[in-house]
Chains A and B, each alone.
Chain A
Amino acid sequence: MPDLELNCPLPLQYDQIVMAHGGGGRLMRQLLDSIIQPVFSNPVLNQKHDSAVLNINGSRLAFTTDSYVVKPLFFAGGDIGKLAVCGTLNDLAMSGALPLYISCSLIIEEGFAIKDLQRIVQSMQQTAQQAGVLIVTGDTKVVEHGSGDGVYINTAGIGIIGEGINSAPAGIQAGDSIIINSDLARHGIAVMLEREGMNFESTLQSDCADLSGLVQGLIQAGIDIHCMRDLTRGGLASCLMELADASHQAIEINETALPIREDVKSACEILGFDPIYIANEGCFALFVPEAQTEKTLAVLREHPLGQQACSIGRVKAAHPKGLVTLQTAMGISRVLDLLSGEQLPRIC
């Protein structure tokens, strides 16, 4: 059992959990690094990959789990069921695996409408079917009224990783191109605009999508994938900071290269958000050798989820602590930092 004190360089400053501990920022990192990771520490977990990569009887298996607690449960472009299946498929895809089977655990609040539950499980089944995976096991629990937000879903998934594929952060090398498949921040903003009390009208839809087909296309085309990571909570910025930290590399991205829809930009202006910290659910960052940039973009653009694929930056050089800089449109370079938690609407 590791000594908690020794593994706790950043003492927690709250003595209870606050929402920011789940916000994908610095407080969440502190919680994982000081309370959870040191207790469970083992070589598989310590790879810090989207899925655990397991060697079993000569096969490499990817194994992952994720819980979903979105509000509202139904939003433009998806619902908690679709999100729960896509999220786990994407975690498997990011480790280079072909997803095979997933599980479904439901924690349902007393009083929740059966017809809403039906909609959610049908949405899960439809998403799984389209991806060619089976939902093969599950669990259902009911909690008292007031103990949950309607329904929480946990999904776990397994998939098989093909020979020679390794997309963990350690594969990132100086000189790599960084490519993303689509525009940023659509999921976080679409969900935010539909929250109770916000009263915005928009046609914006979440980007929630299963990326496994797109990734299989890259693998079949023989792209030399150095690393992949989906940009979920905390957005592009938090994801790149995690990868820079895990790979000890300095990463530079170009502000003008980032694809962001006009309506997403507007919503960010109104609420005082920075779109590079906003959640996505159908977007991932891909690290490939610079010489393969054009080929990778061409393969991605053949797929409906990769039409907007573009190169957004590169890995500059090794850096002991890992560093991400943003080259702004004004020609200035700014060091990016993790936020404490989720961004709060900034009015003043």
Chain B
Amino acid sequence: MKYLDEYRHPEIVKKLAAAIKAITTQPWNIMEVCGGQTHSIIKYGIDQLLPGEINLIHGPGCPVCVTPLAYIDKALAIAAQPEVIFCSFGDMLRVPGTDHDLLSLKAQGADIRIVYSPLDALNLARQHPGRNVVFFGVGFETTAPTTALAAYQAKQQDLSNFSLLICHVRVPPVMQALLRSPNNQVQGFLGAGHVCSIMGYHEYLPLCAHYQIPIVVTGFEPVDILHGLYLCIKQLEEKRCQVENEYSRVVNMQGNQPAQQLMRQVFDIVDRSWRGLGEIAASGLALTAEYEQWNAERRFAVATINTQEPRDCRSGEVLKGLIKPAHCPEFGKRCTPEHPLGATMVSSEGACAAYYRYRRFEHA
């Protein structure tokens, strides 16, 4: 595919890996924020190309992983209603709630459908006027505009049998929360390229300046990730800290204005709890009062569900980079992709699941 294959070119990959090796003189901990980047790193074995000094910390950028248990329980409570068609992105179906996951609920007869886009859920609502169609809106600022448009169109067309269970999250507050944490290990960030395609990267300037940390907005292909790492390591080695944009073919400073405008119209910024990390101020998005009618939490009276998380999962420490997945005593034992104990084993992008799939044998 054009503009994809070029960024997987083995020769360029090898050259960039050599360039990184040439400039690295000491250990550095770098976090890739986005789960898509984690997936690429593990799938292509990018970490195996890096010098031993470079330690990649897989960040909390997998929305499937960080969606709090309470919201999974809300989703399960709504999806169990007989008149509901519950629509979700594929990966959310395997996330365990308190008692079971959406896949098990589907097995018991609930009408749960995988959709590619929130607009597909909107179409289902039009096709089934007698049913209550609910879309589970999870994801970062990349996905939030897609559910914002679904909400906007539902309101415009007065589609009363459609509603949204919204658990969108914002990236800058979680980066700040990690940097503030007393045992923070992260010395440089690869910024999430597709989040920045919507939000730009001006939000990172104050973070970079305040915490004196390099942030390189980075794409998702091997060449992008290695180039992002190269730029980040170069800053660290030269004792600089700047916000750089490796992914300039897609991202600009200000981001996507029409998308940001509709997000402001549809969503308020709220505090949100993250699975494994706890509550982070101003890190979530919720429907505004104007869209209350399309809020599934109200429509199905699940707003009071407030399940707390089990203590035996150490995904919080994995997300903060304090331990590697294989260091958790439950990794590969009680906690597997078939029966995930917590956030990071849930999605194929989660750090634990990615390790389990591609690296388990090294730790056996």
Cβ contact within 8 Å between B45 and A332: yes
Residue of A nearest to B61 (CB): A348
* A245, B43: Cα distance in complex, Å: 23
CB pair B360–A337 under 8 Å, yes or no, is yes
- Tell me if A304 counts as interface (CB < 8 A to partner B): no
Which of B10, B62, B143 meets A329, CB within 8 Å?
B10
In the complex, the chain A residue whose C-beta lies closest to that of B338 is A340
Q: Give the distance in Å from the alpha carbon of A55 to the alpha carbon of B45 in the complex.
A: 48
B4 adjacent to chain A (CB < 8 Å): yes
Question: Chain A: interface secondary structure?
Answer: loop
Judge whether A323 and B361 touch: CB under 8 Å: yes
A19 touches B116 (CB 8 A): no
- Asked whether B108 is an interface residue with its Cβ less than 8 Å from the other chain, the reply is yes
**A19–B103 Cα gap in the complex (Å)?**
8
- CB B244 to nearest CB in A, in angstroms, measures 24
For the complex, is B48 an interface residue (Cβ under 8 Å from A)? Answer: yes
Residues of B within 8 A of A266 (CB): 1
Residues of A1-27 contacting chain B, CB below 8 A: 13-14, 16-20, 26-27
Q: Check if A330 sits within 8 Å of B90, measured CB to CB.
A: no
Q: In the bound complex, what is the Cα–Cα distance between A13 and B107 (angstroms)?
A: 14
CB contact list, B57-93 vs A, under 8 A: 62-64, 89-91, 93
Indicate whether A13 sits within 8 Å of B91 (C-beta atoms), given known contacts A330-B13, A330-B49, A348-B143: no
Determine if B104 and A16 form an interchain contact, defined as CB atoms under 8 angstroms apart: yes
Residues from chain B with a CB closer than 8 A to the CB of A265 are 1
Q: In the assembly, what is the distance between CA of A198 and CA of B115, in Å?
A: 8
User: Does A345 lie within 8 Å of B64, measured CB to CB?
Assistant: no
Task: Return chain B residues, CB-CB under 8 Å to A262.
Answer: 1
Q: Contacts A16-B108, A18-B104 known; A347 to B116 CB distance under 8 Å?
A: yes
Q: Are A344 and B338 in contact (CB under 8 A)?
A: no
Contact-residue bracket for chain A: 35 or more
Q: Are A198 and B116 in contact (CB under 8 A)?
A: yes
Q: Is the CB of A347 within 8 A of B89?
A: yes
Give min CB distance, A275 to chain B, whole Å: 13
The answer for the CA separation of A27 and B338 in the assembled complex, in Å, is 8
B219 contacts A by Cβ under 8 Å: no
Given the interface contacts A26-B338, A262-B1, A334-B358, does A348 sit within 8 Å of B89 by beta carbon? yes
| CB contact list, B335-364 vs A, under 8 A | 337-339, 347-349, 356-362
B21 interfacial contact with A, CB 8 Å? no
Within 8 A of A (CB), among B165-216: none
Is there contact, CB below 8 Å, between B91 and A348? yes
List, in ascending order, chain A residues with CB within 8 A of B46's CB.
330
What separation, in Å, do the CA atoms of A198 and B361 have in the docked complex?
A: 36
Q: Which of B1-43 contact A (CB under 8 A)?
A: 1, 4, 8, 10, 13-14, 35, 43
B90 touching A347 by the CB < 8 A rule?
yes
Give Cα A323–Cα B364 distance, bound, in whole angstroms: 13
B14 contacts which chain A residues (CB < 8 A)? 330-331
Given contacts A18-B107, A330-B13, A331-B10, contact A346 B44 (CB under 8 A): no
Inter-chain CB contacts under 8 Å: number:
99
Interface string of A260-278 (1 = CB under 8 A from B): 0010011001011000000
Q: Which interface residue of A198, A262, A333, A335 has the most chain B CB atoms within 10 A? A: A335
In whole angstroms, how far apart are the Cα atoms of A198 and B117 in the complex?
9
B106 at the interface (CB under 8 A from A): yes
Contact B49 A345 (CB under 8 A): no
Any B CB within 8 A of the CB of A126:
no
Distance in Å from the Cβ of B138 to the closest Cβ of chain A? 7
Report the separation of the CA atoms of residues A346 and B143 in the bound assembly, to the nearest whole angstrom: 13
Q: How far is the CA of A19 from the CA of B104 in the complex (A)?
A: 9
Task: Tell me whether A222 is interfacial, beta carbon within 8 Å.
Answer: no
A182 to chain B, nearest CB (A): 21
Q: Which residues of B contact A43 (CB under 8 A)?
A: none
Residues of A within 8 A of B35 (CB): 348
Quick one: closest A residue to B90, CB to CB? A344
Cβ A346 vs Cβ B91 within 8 A: yes
Q: Are B62 and A348 in contact (CB under 8 A)?
A: yes
Contact A197 B124 (CB under 8 A): yes
A18-B104, A330-B45, A345-B116 as given contacts; A335 in contact with B90, CB under 8 Å = no
A346 touches B1 (CB 8 A): no
Chain A residues near B113: list those with CB within 8 A. Answer: 197
Tell me which residues across on chain A come within 8 A of B114, comparing CB atoms.
344-345
Shortest CB distance B342–A (Å)? 15
A329 contacts across to B, CB distance below 8 A: 8, 10
A41 within 8 A of B: no
Least distance between B276 CB and chain A CB atoms (Å): 16
What's the minimum C-beta distance from B255 to chain A, rounded to whole angstroms? 19
The residue of chain A having its C-beta at the shortest distance from the C-beta of B124 within the complex is A197
In angstroms, how far is the closest chain A Cβ from the Cβ of B135? 12
A328 contacts chain B at the CB level, 8 A cutoff: yes
* Complex interface: chain B residues within 8 A of A197 (CB): 113, 115-116, 120, 123-124
Besides A269-B4, A335-B359, A348-B138, 18 more A-B contacts (Cβ < 8 Å) are A13-B339, A16-B104, A18-B103, A197-B113, A262-B1, A269-B1, A271-B116, A328-B45, A329-B8, A330-B45, A330-B46, A332-B44, A335-B360, A340-B337, A344-B90, A345-B90, A345-B114, A347-B91
Residue contacts A-B, CB under 8 angstroms, 10 given: A13-B338, A26-B338, A197-B116, A331-B14, A335-B361, A344-B90, A344-B114, A345-B114, A347-B90, A348-B349
Q: What are the 8 A-B residue pairs with the smallest beta carbon separation, nearest first?
A: A344-B90, A332-B45, A347-B89, A345-B90, A13-B339, A18-B107, A335-B361, A329-B10
